[in-house]
Structure 1
Amino acid sequence: MGRATNLRDLVGKLKDKASQSKAALLSNPKALSPHLALLRATTHDPSAPPNQRHLATLLSFGNGSRATAASAVDVLMDRLQTTHDAAVALKCLITIHHVIRHGSFILQDQLSVYPFTGGRNYLNLSNFRDNSTVLGWELSSWVRWYALYLEQVLATSRILGFFLSSSSATKDEVEENVSTLLNSDLVKDIDSLANLLYEMCKRPDSLNEQGKRLVDKVMELVGEDSLSAINEIAMRVNELKERLSYLSFADSVELVCALRMLEGCKERLAAILTQGKTVSTETFWGLIGEVKDMVEDSKVYTGEGRLLSTGSKNNGSESARFDDRALRRNDSVRFSSGRLLAFTDLVFQS
């Protein structure tokens, strides 16, 4: 097994050298091409994550024209879809994650619309298998999971209206924006973020030592996403806490389902959150449990106040509800914060 692994590593290095030499010959000698930058960032070496300098170079192609950014995304996706090497595939996915987190708007935009045909399996890696070695086989499970996770990140980002973990807005700006959302949109956001954390917790359990650094880099990025997701959920749950008496029956049920899903992830999520850092989430889980209990005990949720809930939301798929941003009776006005609604009620009563 040791000889086979050493031979595979040697072959991988030779492939990297040959590919980079060919790309250098075909590219403009005065300017680095996206293809060459990507080859340097996604080598066959399974023991090391992509070099930060090479990733920064690749991200720099998003600072030029749209055509240049499109070319960078195109070569990235092409390498991801054509490789049979698990280490290369995992490094391509890490690169995609860096584009989501640190890429320019134009680079992120090109990533979000690729491929133009769309589809459920966006990255198309659910059947990925590297049978060449035991390590390749184990890394393959990480490739399949990581691809599904990044698909969920992209889906969640579309629902939120911004790329998770990449927003430069201040806390006050985010809270102000959250306070303007409809109840149904807040619940939809929470549901999507809960699904992201749920997908996060499906990560494979183990890997041998040779691929540990590569997997650790993946989990470092995922761990940072988890903190962002928790912050986004907390702001929305806090806002809904102020509006509980104005929630429709359908929104109440969907909210409880999302909060129960979150609580089911608590144990596995703790291991992800504490990977490499100490994070206290007692306040967050206390909030989730408190609001879940409050909704479950409400008259609307238990059915006692069903006549007050005239909005029976369609129980169709998420995609069917995606564009359902129309103002509904139970949502009152656009800025339907409980605090503002309470003030409105006082005005009309007087």
Structure 2
Amino acid sequence: MSGGTQKSIRKALGALKDTTTVSLAKVNSDYKELDIAIVKATNHVERPAKEKYIRAIFAAVSATRPRADVAYCIHALARRLAKTHNWAVALKTLVVIHRALREVDPTFYEELMNYGRSRSHMLNLAHFKDDSSPNAWDYSTWIRTYALFLEERLECFRVLKYDIEMDRPRTKDLDTAELLEHLPALQQLLFRVLGCQPQGAAVHNFVVQLALSMVASESIKIYQAISDGTVNLVDKFFEMQRHDAMRALDIYRRAGQQAERLSEFYEVCKSLDIGRGERFIKIEQPPASFLQAMEEYVKEAPRFSTVRKDQVVAPKEILAIEYKKAPEEEARPPSPPPPEPVKVEPVKVEAPEAEQPDLLGLNDPVPNTKELDDKNALALAIVPVSDQPTSMAPTLANGATGWELALVTAPSSNESAVASSKLTAYMTMQSDEAIRM
């Protein structure tokens, strides 16, 4: 089967699908006029859609319509985009969405983003392909990059809070913090623009060229906003802290790289007779010497603080309980501070050695004779008995004989022996003292 026959069959099948979908919408849909307009604006015919069907869709998503009608229209477009495997249907659906973003009020942005948050992103066509022909493969490649551009357009609107195509750029009046937030979003959007450069068979497709002309026209305002913001950023650059200066330097470098690529992109558009040439602005490269001065400043730019947070030594916290004094206690003068306690060295106590029992009383202390004389008025007169016979009974000085002396001298037991030894020592001390006198 020849290629022309296959193409004719595909066209016939596509027309049959569109007719069937329109017939079902007339019978089953509560929004049959809107469903018919969506099907005819995004049919399988490989030509741009008729304007009347596109205008019918725009009327359904305007701010004057109930939000339920707008939500249904977005849902119908998302369903059409998700179910198709035909490049013409997918591309024409994206063109309708793109034109609605450009020509309808900003409420359409909000509804489209709300739909994306509640469900999967309707513009995520990373896996889309139409492999019915080699040309269809090239078209599918360009459709995926075009969908990425539209998705980034929504993200840029979320960051900037205004549409870069419909409103005046505001980057020349922003402060440093807003510039460092808005410029990266705009540069990312310009990056998606540069990705829309067609390749292969997509270069000469009329529907692709129609969508490319809208992308190219928007790139002019995107670049102008980036240029204004870059000039504003340079004016503030040499007063920035080091962290902000590093981010600003990256933005400035990327602006120079994108300017070079944007010039190539415009040359491709001019060769395709898109924009007629006069609409494209002249791209000027930033001076390399100024970039070098910025790099030198970043090396010596002041930091927020000379001491990092993790190097700061926090003061020690002391737990305390607040004590409220009674009125009479507050009137009393403060008591003097207590004296510092005297540090006492611990005394090492040695355990006493076990002593042998003194059975004979040899270790008993010698009594003080003077104390004994004071206590005993009747001191005993000791008479030496060494010359007397042992059988003779001892006689005391006061005439006491017999049993009194026997109590002292009788060695009848161990206790008597101890007493005798003590008495002998006492007598010796008395005699020595008498001699000294």
The answer to whether TM tops 0.5 is yes
Taking the aligned partners of 1:157 and 1:270, their CA distance within structure 2 comes to: 24
1:66-145 residue pairs with structure 2 within 5 A? 66-117=67-118, 123-145=123-145
Taking the aligned partners of 1:215 and 1:95, their CA distance within structure 2 comes to: 13
Q: CA deviation at 1:273?
A: 5.6
2:239 matches 1:242: no
Change (3 A) 1:164 1:208: closer
Taking the aligned partners of 1:256 and 1:240, their CA distance within structure 2 comes to: 9
Change (3 A) 1:113 1:264: farther
Taking the aligned partners of 2:41 and 2:175, their CA distance within structure 1 comes to: 43
Alignment correspondent of 2:166: 166
2:290 matches 1:294: yes
Structure 1 unaligned segments of length 5 or more: list them: 313-350
Alignment correspondent of 2:190: 197
Taking the aligned partners of 1:21 and 1:311, their CA distance within structure 2 comes to: 71
Taking the aligned partners of 1:232 and 1:151, their CA distance within structure 2 comes to: 19
Do the aligned partners of 2:249 and 2:295 also contact (CA within 8 Å) in 1?
Answer: no
The AA in structure 2 aligned to 1:62 is V
Alignment correspondent of 1:153: 153
Do the aligned partners of 2:238 and 2:297 also contact (CA within 8 Å) in 1?
Answer: no
Total equivalences in the alignment: 294
Do the aligned partners of 1:59 and 1:99 also contact (CA within 8 Å) in 2?
Answer: yes
Alignment correspondent of 2:18: 16
Do the aligned partners of 2:149 and 2:189 also contact (CA within 8 Å) in 1?
Answer: yes
Counterpart pick for 1:251 among 236, 247, 260 = 247
Higher helix share: 1
1:27-66 residue pairs with structure 2 within 5 A? 27=29, 33-46=33-46, 48-63=47-62, 64-66=65-67
The AA in structure 1 aligned to 2:107 is I
2:270 matches 1:269: no
Q: Report Cα offsets for 1:129-168 as digits up to 9, x if no partner.
A: 112223322221122111111111112221211223133x
Q: CA deviation at 1:242?
A: 2.8
Q: CA deviation at 1:14?
A: 1.4
Q: Report Cα offsets for 1:70-93 as digits up to 9, x if no partner.
A: 111111111111111111011111
SS at match of 2:85: coil
Alignment correspondent of 2:8: 6
User: What is the percentage of aligned positions where both structures have the same residue?
Assistant: 22
> Higher mean Cα deviation, 184-193 or 293-302?
293-302
Do the aligned partners of 1:249 and 1:311 also contact (CA within 8 Å) in 2?
Answer: no
Alignment correspondent of 1:233: 226
Counterpart pick for 2:217 among 214, 218, 224 = 224
Change (3 A) 1:53 1:243: same
Q: CA deviation at 1:240?
A: 2.2
Change (3 A) 1:110 1:311: farther
SS at match of 1:303: helix
> Higher mean Cα deviation, 244-253 or 16-25?
244-253
SS at match of 1:238: helix
Taking the aligned partners of 1:299 and 1:258, their CA distance within structure 2 comes to: 14
Q: CA deviation at 1:9?
A: 0.7
Counterpart pick for 1:207 among 201, 207, 217 = 201
TM-score by structure 1 length?
Answer: 0.75
Q: CA deviation at 1:110?
A: 0.9
Q: Report Cα offsets for 1:327-346 as digits up to 9, x if no partner.
A: xxxxxxxxxxxxxxxxxxxx
Taking the aligned partners of 1:97 and 1:35, their CA distance within structure 2 comes to: 19
Q: CA deviation at 1:280?
A: 4.8
Q: CA deviation at 1:254?
A: 2.7
Taking the aligned partners of 1:311 and 1:122, their CA distance within structure 2 comes to: 46
How well do the aligned residues superpose, as a CA RMSD in angstroms? Answer: 2.6
Taking the aligned partners of 1:11 and 1:157, their CA distance within structure 2 comes to: 39
Structure 2 unaligned segments of length 5 or more: list them: 307-437
The AA in structure 2 aligned to 1:79 is R
The AA in structure 1 aligned to 2:130 is D
Taking the aligned partners of 2:86 and 2:188, their CA distance within structure 1 comes to: 29
Taking the aligned partners of 2:127 and 2:232, their CA distance within structure 1 comes to: 41
Do the aligned partners of 1:100 and 1:166 also contact (CA within 8 Å) in 2?
Answer: no
TM-score by structure 2 length?
Answer: 0.61
